Amino acid sequence: MPRFLADESCDFAVVRARPLEASLEERYVDALLQELAQRRCDFAERHLTSLYFGGGTPSLLTPRSVERLVEAMHAAFPTQGSVEITLEVNPSSLERERLSGFRAAGVNRLSIGIQAFDEEVLRRLGRAHRSLEGHTTLAAARHAGFENISLDLIFAAPHQTAASFAQDLGRALSFAPEHLSAYELSIEEGTPFATAAARGQLARPSEDETLVMLECLVQASEAAGLERYEISSFARQGFESRHNRRYWRREPVLGLGAAAWSCEPRSLRAPHGARRNNVRALGEYLARVRVGQDPERVPAEVLSPETARAEAMFLGLRTREGVAALRFASEFGAPPRGFFETEISDLIDAGLLLESPSGDLQLSGHGRVVADSIAERFMVSGPSEGAFQSPAR
């Protein structure tokens, strides 16, 4: 799904795993442009700073389709300075062939789904590509002129060892990416991994070995000049993801397309913002937009003060900057301690949280290791469905 950051960001979802038929692709792009025309007034007076094509396999679109969308975004919103335009790409021969075309269409940042270079890990993750394709795609991206490349890696995968992850990480860093996203494999309910885990058939690294992988990730990335600016994100100075930062700062994000999420601007009706989600089925999405109907799945969720405060805490703490007390107070009427006195004091006493004289909060080194557990301390009753809708890399 593309996402563009104007003072906003925008999502498009491509929901098939192979190239779209030419007629269907054209209809889908037409629908995206029609939805943009219908919704741009909700994000009026915003500036385009970033456009993100992600959330599926958007690189299966043709360069011409991407160009149409890029042109439409520039026409819809004014710009101030450069616009970061990201496209998610998987290592495949089809996508490699289109890289030059995407660059010519205006894409200036690639997010490449490497996941791993280890053949066994790739196989167990169910990835279609092999290690050689990863190497070839990275080389092709540089050859096509991309000077801003983000790689994503998985650690704590089935049968992965600390040694094999260190080798994968070394291979990734040898390409000198400008950005690296690394995620611990999570087991989601209802997936084949969850079924295998329930049967005792999923051999995953121990907690100690996972911690060794994490320490290796941080040390090696920073030694290579990539600073950890968010729990899972590392970047060279000036190459931090503009798109992701909007999510962590709870700023508006305009999402277009099937299954796309939006973070609506704050208003009198929704003083802390709102979230909306489009229908997932491509056919239903196309049918609704064609007749001028709103493609949202259910009415937008207006964030309550309690939910917004909780998300401001656990999303802010994921970042290097942490939670700024003054900014928090400007939205909620009091600094973090005004609402979370017990939680903050307990976490500081445990050495997991750091507090400045002005009340700003950051995770400590050990706190970053257990960030998910810390986030739970601030949740109202668990995160809302769209709280972590940032698939960008």
How far does the chain reach from its first CA to its final CA, in angstroms?
A: 12
Type of residue found at 119: E
pLDDT in tens, 221-256: 999 999 999 999 999 999 999 999 999 999 999 999
DSSP E strand boundaries for the chain: 2-5, 48-53, 79-89, 109-115, 149-155, 179-184, 227-230, 233-235, 254-255, 261-264, 274-277, 301-302, 353-355, 361-363
On whether both 15 and 91 belong to a single domain, the answer is yes
Tell me: pLDDT of 219 over 80: yes
Query: Could you tell me the pLDDT band of residue 17, with boundaries at 50, 70 and 90?
Result: very low
Owning domain of residue 160: 2-247
The two tokens of residue 314 are 């656990």
* Lowest-pLDDT range of 7-11, 148-152, 223-227, 323-327: 7-11
Pair 52, 132 in one domain: yes
Same structural domain, 240 and 314 = no
Residue 348 sits in a domain of what CATH number?
1.10.10.10
Residue 253 counted as domain residue: no
Q: What is the pTM of this model?
A: 0.90
Q: Is residue 276 part of a domain?
A: no
- Is 157 found in the same domain as 74? yes
Asked whether residue 179 falls in the same domain as residue 94, the answer is yes
Give the Cα separation of 272 and 5 in Å (integer).
Answer: 19
Q: What is the number of structural domains in the chain?
A: 2
User: Considering the domain boundaries, does residue 277 fall inside one?
Assistant: no
Answer yes or no: do 231 and 310 share one domain.
no
My answer on whether 312 and 230 are in the same domain is no
Q: What's the whole-number mean pLDDT along residues 287-299?
A: 95
pLDDT tens, 316-366?
999 999 999 999 999 999 999 999 999 999 999 999 999 999 999 999 999
pLDDT at residue number 20: 61
79 and 227, same domain (yes or no): yes
With 90 as the cut, is the pLDDT of residue 132 above it?
no
What length is written for the chain? Answer: 393
Q: Is residue 266 part of a domain?
A: no
Do 180 and 40 reside in the same domain of the chain? Answer: yes
Assess whether 206 and 342 both reside in one domain.
Answer: no
In a domain, 8, yes or no: yes
Within a domain: residue 299? no
